Amino acid sequence: MDEKLKQFLTYATIGVVNTGIHWGAFGCFYNFLDCSQSISNLLGFLIAVTFSYVMNAKFTFKKEQNLAGYLRMVVVMASISWGIGWCADQSSWHPMVTLVLSSATSLVLGFILSKLLVFR
């Protein structure tokens, strides 16, 4: 199997677990703690991205952890996650729309940023 395809599939598998963590945390913050979608999405992302960072360093990219690159990526991706949640709050989107849009954005953009900023 092509190394880039294998790398992307490993990244995507970790992303599935990441998505479960993100969605579960979002649900807890939104439903049980009555947080807005923007805050719930941001906090869910931050919890999930920490898991993904450690797993991707070890299994996907097989590189040493790069805290500076990780922080740059988190700032960009957290801003996007909060922005999607903010749009959801302003437009009264169903929470599932927020989660699906965030997850799709994170999968593609997160892979690109991981390769460019974190695990180069």
pLDDT of residue 26: 97
User: What gap in Å lies between CA 60 and CA 4, rounded to an integer?
Assistant: 10
Q: List CB contacts of 26: < 8 A, sequence separation 6 or more.
A: 40, 41, 43, 44, 95, 98, 99
Which pLDDT value is given to residue 44? 96
Domain residue spans of the chain: 3-118
Q: 95-113 and 67-91 are packed helices; what angle lies between their axes, rounded to 10 degrees?
A: 160
Q: What is the pLDDT of residue 63?
A: 77
Q: What is the block-wise mean pLDDT of the chain (120 residues), using blocks of 10 residues? A: 86 91 97 97 94 88 78 88 95 95 86 75
Predicted TM-score (pTM) of the model is 0.83
